[in-house]
Amino acid sequence: MKVLITGSEGFIGIHLKEHLMQLNYDVYGLDIKPSTSNNFRVVDILDYSSLLFYCDEIKPDIIVHLAARIDISDDDVTDYSTNIVGVQNLINVSENISSVKRVIWTSSQLVNKLGYIRLNNINYKPTTSYGASKAIGELLVKTQVHNKEWTIIRPTNVWGPNMSEHYRKFLSYVNSRKYFHVAFSDIYKSYSYVANACFQIEKIISSNAVFVNKKTFYICDYEPIEVKNWVNRFAFYFGVKKPITFPYTLSFLVVNIFDILKNISVLKRVPITKYTFQNILTHYIIENRELHSVTGDLPFNNEEGIKITSKWFKNLN
């Protein structure tokens, strides 16, 4: 089976490529970033003619669409053209290539505000331009894909080896004992260890259409993490003391001081923003029974993921 991955050089894309090749899929990739990988092309999905040419040349059976602009900024939603125009381009291409049977469209949990979990609906509640751009992308898929099977996936916070600079900074703060917990209460979240995410995506690729076609799934581990314990386990494997915990009021004060210092240009970067603070304190637990029935149990538990990621981070540094 030929699988084409857009955004193949991103965090999830690199892991998914390796996972599928281990299972003997015929894997192809495209990205705006260069790569030495086999079966790879440099293609911007905003370039319709190049996208059409490459997809028609490969004639994939499955497309996994990961390419996106993923940062959260104050830019207007129209500035996230990769997430809107790029989706429209790939819809047009995939609808007209006969070999394509199914496309897996990657969206985001941020099509709704943090902690607000809804599936298979058009009542989106994004609070960022990034989230709004992903909601528009979902609507394009739901209204304009007529000839192909489709599945929308909404990854939650995905972590693991080779994760983004944002998460590397988080681990460096833990390792250097600059990280602090921001409240005494337990906060539970449905996070996604990257190897488990790739396992779930492959199961969606290989499952019968009756189980996945025209479905929306959150991609996350089936057991939520408790944030303080999750961070403390990283500290344990780094060989440092677990982070101290500040009361909510003190944490709130510290975050606002950082915000003021950034606004008056005393600091260019701050270790925690108001958005991050709100994110940390927001519970979200996703009941993923339908996806679990498709995939079965995941290959890695939380402790195994932390151990593997800690080893990667220590080798990196």
pLDDT tens digits for 41-58? 999 999 999 999 999 999
Listed range (29-33, 81-85, 168-172) with the worst mean pLDDT: 168-172
Residue 119 has pLDDT above 70, yes or no: no
Give the whole-angstrom CA distance, residue 119 versus residue 305: 27
Q: Indicate the pairing of strand 149-155 with strand 102-106.
A: parallel
Give the whole-number percent of the chain exceeding pLDDT 70: 98
The secondary structure of residue 68, as a DSSP letter, is -
Most confident range (mean pLDDT) of 97-101, 122-126, 165-169 is 97-101
Give the whole-angstrom CA distance, residue 131 versus residue 83: 10
- pLDDT value of position 13: 97
* Domain residue limits, the chain: 2-155
Alpha-carbon dihedral sign for residues 177, 110, 61, 88? negative
Confidence of residue 196 (pLDDT cuts 50, 70, 90): very high
Listed range (2-6, 168-172, 295-299) with the worst mean pLDDT: 168-172
Residue 195 has pLDDT above 90, yes or no: yes
Fold of 2-155: Rossmann fold (3.40.50)
Give how far Cα 286 sits from Cα of 56, 104, 154, 201, 270, Å.
38, 20, 11, 17, 30
Q: What is the mean pLDDT of the chain?
A: 93
pTM for the full predicted model: 0.92
Give the whole-angstrom CA distance, residue 148 versus residue 152: 13
